[in-house]
A and B are shown apart, each in its own frame.
Chain A
Amino acid sequence: MSGWQLFLDSFWPIVWGGVSGTIPLALASFAIGLVLALGTALMRLSKNRVVSGIARFYISVIRGTPLLVQLFVIFYGLPSVGLVIDPWPSAIIAFSLNVGGYGAEVIRAAILSVPKGQWEAGYTIGMSHATTLRRVILPQAARVSVPPLSNTFISLVKDTSLASLILVTELFRVSQEIAAFSQEFMLLYLEAALIYWLFCLVLSSGQGVLEKRLDRYVAH
């Protein structure tokens, strides 16, 4: 079989690995991770020292340890204390916790970037702290955090390739399997790289659309 033919024959199976594995894994982890990130950011901003301390500790652990190690602790480590989790949920837990830690700092900075006068304007029209946060502060913080959070998401899409090491069938694992079978390592891994890149190009253009939409109320 020629190299070109192998490339064509393996293209759709690898893309399918991305569509059925990489993308849902990234989307689910990002969605859960964002909720964790918002909660952690608000805890980190709390005046209560214990509450902000817990958030600080979580962020520190996530940022201070390799993602691969976190993944292995959850999938290969926890069974030895009697907690067995399947590959997919393990991957989603690990990636969500990771996004939660990194995203928290992004969201915290975005909230702090909204001028204090916006909080005061909310208070003086009678809003509570929580309502002001929801109606006034977070919509403005969202705009600021789109570029860095897009970065986090694109990193996440690529990091999901680590899930191949805990037996999740996704883009990279499909290409690994074909490579092992055909012994065409260079071809298959470059093909995998190309397909990741194509995915990320689509995501980047999505980021552009989102930024444009959120920028409609800002002077240019």
Chain B
Amino acid sequence: MSPTDPLAPAAAPDDSVLLAARGIRKSFGDNEVLRSIDLEVRRGEVVVLIGPSGSGKTTVLRSLNGLETPDAGTIDFAGGPVVDFAAPVPKAQRFALRDRSAMVFQQHNLFPHMTVIENVIEGPVRVQRVPKAQAVAEASALLDRVGLAEKRDAYPFELSGGQQQRVGIVRALALKPQLLLFDEPTSALDPELVGEVLQVIKELADEGWTMVVVTHELSFARQAADEVLFMDGGVVVERGEPGTIFTKPTHERTRRFLDRILRPLD
């Protein structure tokens, strides 16, 4: 792939640590959803979180960009302050986390009152103060690259679910974040639309984007992940390369989860 591919990340990955989260804890009322989670993401790495519903995967992801505020733990994002959740986190630190990452949601959360191109340039123009002409040019190149060039002036409701989600991905890419967060990006899609979205995410992984992906698509995890974390009951039960986790899981809980997903009728 050429270095001028609009899908390529701004900086080439160099395998150094981009983000380290340590001892992340979170309770909602009496319900302890995260019990001391550690997570390290290197530049260019694809980390996939799998696990049953309610295992805390999404909460981990949302802690990484400050949508959830953990009760304890630290997040060390390269180039920024170490955010310590033991004390109230200053607004500036929460924004520092947000500004370094971008998120793709399960329910795309596109802005319904803006056209596709307006959705994509909103962050660059309003927040990052990129000149509008430049933002439009970059957004158009990205949309073209994911096959949505003709949809640039459509409203989100005029698109299929797969197209909406691809716009959601482009909106995230347009911010040129250091880290991409995917929160079950295909769970709300009709089965026949899952492929086109996973394809784009896989391409981004191949281009060297750093990403943390929460998903139930084990085939995606197997093909794209550098590291897979299996979570259950608010803890990381097992972590490792996809080849190892999927073929010889060491924990009984991992084995049962994989069995249920891969052989639901047995």
Contact = CB atoms under 8 A, between A and B. Distances in A.
B1 interface: no
Contact of B113 (A115, A121, A140): A140
A contacts with B: majority SS: helix
A135 interface: yes
Given A127-B126, A218-B112, A120 B102 contact: no
Interface stretch (B21-29, B103-111, B222-230, B249-257): B103-111
A135 B109 contact: no
A126 B103 contact: no
B123 interface: yes
Interface centre among A117, A121, A128, A140 (most CB of B within 10 A): A121
B107 A131 contact: no
Contacts of B122: 125, 135
Most buried by A among B66, B67, B101, B122: B122
A137 to B, nearest CB: 10
Interface in A24-66: none
B102 A124 contact: yes
Interface string A118-155: 10110111111001000110011001000000000000
Nearest to B123: A125
B111 A136 contact: yes
A117 B126 contact: no
A202 interface: no
A124 B98 contact: yes
B157 A218 contact: yes
Contact of B109 (A121, A217, A218): A121
Interface in B164-212: 171-172, 175
A140 B111 CA distance: 9
A186 interface: no
B157 A121 contact: no
Given A117-B105, A216-B155, A126 B127 contact: yes
B134 to A, nearest CB: 17
Interface residues of A, number: 21
Contacts of B158: 219
Nearest to B157: A219
A136 B119 CA distance: 10
Contacts of A117: 105, 107, 109
Contacts of B112: 140, 217-218
A120 B67 contact: yes
B163 interface: no
A27 B102 CA distance: 44
A219 B155 CA distance: 9
B220 to A, nearest CB: 22
A120 B105 contact: yes
Contacts of A135: 122, 126
B154 to A, nearest CB: 10
Contact of A217 (B99, B105, B126, B157): B157
Given A117-B107, A121-B105, A126-B127, A217 B113 contact: yes
Nearest to A135: B126
Contacts of A218: 112, 157
Interface string B89-132: 00000010011011101010111111000000011001110000
Interface of A: 115, 117-118, 120-121, 123-128, 131, 135-136, 139-140, 143, 216-219
15 contacts: A117-B105, A120-B103, A120-B109, A121-B105, A121-B110, A123-B66, A123-B67, A124-B65, A124-B98, A124-B103, A125-B171, A126-B95, A126-B99, A143-B113, A217-B113
Given A120-B103, A126-B127, A217-B157, 16 more contacts: A117-B105, A117-B107, A117-B109, A118-B109, A120-B105, A121-B111, A123-B66, A123-B98, A124-B65, A125-B102, A125-B123, A127-B126, A135-B126, A139-B113, A217-B156, A218-B112
